Structure 1
Amino acid sequence: MTTDLTAPVAQPDDTDAILRAILRDVLGLSDERVAGLDANSGLFGHLPEFDSMAVAGLLTEVEDRCDILIEDDEVDGDMLETYGALLAYVSAKRAEG
């Protein structure tokens, strides 16, 4: 068996871990609350900590830590509705990049 040293090394997708850390840091959520989030967990309008004032801070941190650019016209209620929707959006943006 030979190994192709020129082939790109697959990196695990760390988007989930990064996004959970951002939610913990920006919203001040406990590790337990962040760990308990699943795809259907409500975010905006469901978490008292995630109000309209927190949206800008959260999106800025997502841009910085994930090295993506979030355009104003891409931000909508659907994207922020659930953890799964936000994770899917950020994952797609990172894949573009």
Structure 2
Amino acid sequence: MQWMKERTDFLGGLRPVYEPMVARPKNWTTPYDGSYLSSNIKPLRLVRCGLKAYFKTLENADIPIVYATVNAIRNTAWQVNTFMPEIMETFW
């Protein structure tokens, strides 16, 4: 119980940088074009990697199936599992 309290106190002040969106995200069309609609958020890349040569390869790659797959996953609506809060309350 002490560990849970400490974790709750610590994590309670944190806020995710990339929160769920109400509107659908912008579809990926290139490794650099697609993500959040807001201009207040730093543009994201499709893949996180520090190798510039890798991004050059991705820029020239013909990968419409990859973009379609990523976009389909991102456009899938999420929902809160209403069963979990009840379990958490029981344990808390």
TM over 0.5: same fold? no
Q: Which protein is bigger by CA-based radius of gyration? A: 2
Pick the structure with more helix per residue.
1
**Bigger relative CO (Cα 8 Å, ≥ 6 apart):** 1
* Interval of TM-score (by shorter of Structure 1 and Structure 2): under 0.3
TM-score (norm. length: structure 1): 0.25
TM-score (norm. length: structure 2): 0.26
